[in-house]
Amino acid sequence: MLKARGTGPMTAIETEELRKRFRGVNAVDGVDLSVPEGAIYGFLGPNGAGKTTTIRLLLGLLRPNRGRIAIFGENLKTKRRRALKSVGVAFETPAHYEHLTGRENLDITRRLLKLEKTEIDRVLDTVELTHVANRLVRKYSLGMRHRLGLARALLGQPKLLIFDEPTNGLDPVGIREMREFIKTLPARTGATVFVSSHHLAEIEQIASHVAVINLGQIVFQGEMTALRGLHAPRLEIAGNDLDAVSLFLSQTELAPTKKDGKLVITLSAAESAEREAAQINRNLVDAGFDIHHLVIAPWRLEELFLQLVGAKPLLASNADRREPEC
């Protein structure tokens, strides 16, 4: 049930059985989201999973075939204006007027929202674009364009910020800056942040809560720590005489397998991974082995999905997703 206003703790976004069908294909297929106020809520899924479609539904840009949406308790269908009043949004490819300056671009939205002029300086400062505010957008770097998109989303101090793949196309430095920026937003602005991505590592580093979507369906929703708990990390080892290393490790109740010229060991839990790796390292060095590579392998989205959805394909062909004709 969608929560009514004033009953219990407020959820920023709540959806119930949300569905959107495109030409017989369920792009969003019975999605129940519950985004707690104050969270950084990661919306994680591979290409074509239904992230942007869900976001467009949340913003009233698409009409669902069924289901309900409430934003801070306001039903999007019946109280559209009130529901969307407190929402700021940035899409993955921010559209700006190239022949205008950053400041002039923001001024257009400021006027539409009937906000004070000082609001522009505030958001420029927040995204650290003050020094290029009077430069034409056509001379902006991609990172600056993204930040200008965020600045626009921040106008009017919305209580909910929705970002669709905000790091797409950025270089590693730009990605890190964006990540750090998003991470500090709830503390700095009091806003709840809903951010989509297909990068597990990115979401893992910023989100307090996460929903994983595949083929239009939510396959996990909960706290980030709970998702992390599902994953048994692995240690990769390379060095001289790996067969002897493997034999040695087998005797200490570890079960190494060989892959791409390295030994791979499944560790017991994410929380203790570093401690376990250090102990194994110590044991190998004490035993006189010559090790030149010992790394906790990054957790990959594909593996997480295998754990969550088993053998289901990661990407749907349209035929797989078509509803049975009846």
Ligand X SMILES: Nc1ncnc2c1ncn2[C@@H]1O[C@H](COP(=O)(O)OP(=O)(O)OP(=O)(O)O)[C@@H](O)[C@H]1O
Task: Classify strands 217-223 and 209-214 as parallel, antiparallel or unpaired.
Answer: antiparallel
User: What are residue 315's DSSP bridge partners?
Assistant: none
Query: Considering beta carbons, is residue 85 or 322 the nearer one to ligand X?
Result: 322
Query: Considering beta carbons, is residue 38 or 50 the nearer one to ligand X?
Result: 50
Identify the residue among 53, 101, 105, 214 touching ligand X (CB under 6 A).
53
Count of chain residues binding ligand X (CB under 6 A): 11
Site for Mg ion in 5-64 (CB under 5 A): 51-52
Residues 199, 176 contacting (CB under 8 angstroms): no
Identify the residue among 19, 79, 135, 198 touching ligand X (CB under 6 A).
198
Residues 183, 275 contacting (CB under 8 angstroms): no
Identify the residue among 29, 39, 40, 45 touching ligand X (CB under 6 A).
45
Binding mask 153-192 for ligand X (x = CB under 6 A): ----------------------------------------
The structure tokens listed for 18 are 């949300």
Query: Considering beta carbons, is residue 91 or 140 the nearer one to ligand X?
Result: 91
How far apart are the C-alpha atoms of 123 and 293, rounded to whole Å?
45
Query: Considering beta carbons, is residue 72 or 194 the nearer one to ligand X?
Result: 194
Query: Is 197 one of the binding residues for Mg ion (CB under 5 A)?
Result: no
Query: Is 27 one of the binding residues for ligand X (CB under 6 A)?
Result: yes
Q: What secondary structure letter does DSSP report for 92?
A: S
Query: Considering beta carbons, is residue 49 or 265 the nearer one to ligand X?
Result: 49
Query: Is 167 one of the binding residues for Mg ion (CB under 5 A)?
Result: no
DSSP string, 129-168: -GGGTTSBGGG--HHHHHHHHHHHHHTT--SEEEEESTTT
Query: Considering beta carbons, is residue 49 or 144 the nearer one to ligand X?
Result: 49
Identify the residue among 48, 156, 166, 256 touching ligand X (CB under 6 A).
48
Identify the residue among 42, 50, 94, 166 touching ligand X (CB under 6 A).
50
Task: Identify which of 153, 156, 214 has the alpha carbon closest to the alpha carbon of residue 181.
Answer: 153
Query: Is 49 one of the binding residues for ligand X (CB under 6 A)?
Result: yes
CB neighbour list of residue 260: distance below 8 Å, 6 or more residues apart: none
Q: Residue 48: name its binding partner from ligand X, Mg ion, none (Cβ under 5 to 8 Å by kind).
A: ligand X
How far apart are the C-alpha atoms of 164 and 194, rounded to whole Å?
8
CB 51 → ligand X: shortest distance, Å? Answer: 3
CB 167 → Mg ion: shortest distance, Å? Answer: 13
Count Cα atoms within 13 angstroms, Cβ side, for 67.
24
Judged by DSSP in three states, 189 sits in helix
Q: Residue 53: name its binding partner from ligand X, Mg ion, none (Cβ under 5 to 8 Å by kind).
A: ligand X
CB 69 → Mg ion: shortest distance, Å? Answer: 18
The beta strands (E) that lie in the chain are given as: 11-22, 25-31, 34-36, 40-44, 66-71, 74-75, 87-90, 160-164, 192-197, 209-214, 217-223, 234-239, 257-259, 262-266, 291-296
Site for ligand X in 85-144 (CB under 6 A): none
Binding site for Mg ion (CB under 5 A): 51-52
Binding site for ligand X (CB under 6 A): 22, 27, 45, 47-53, 198
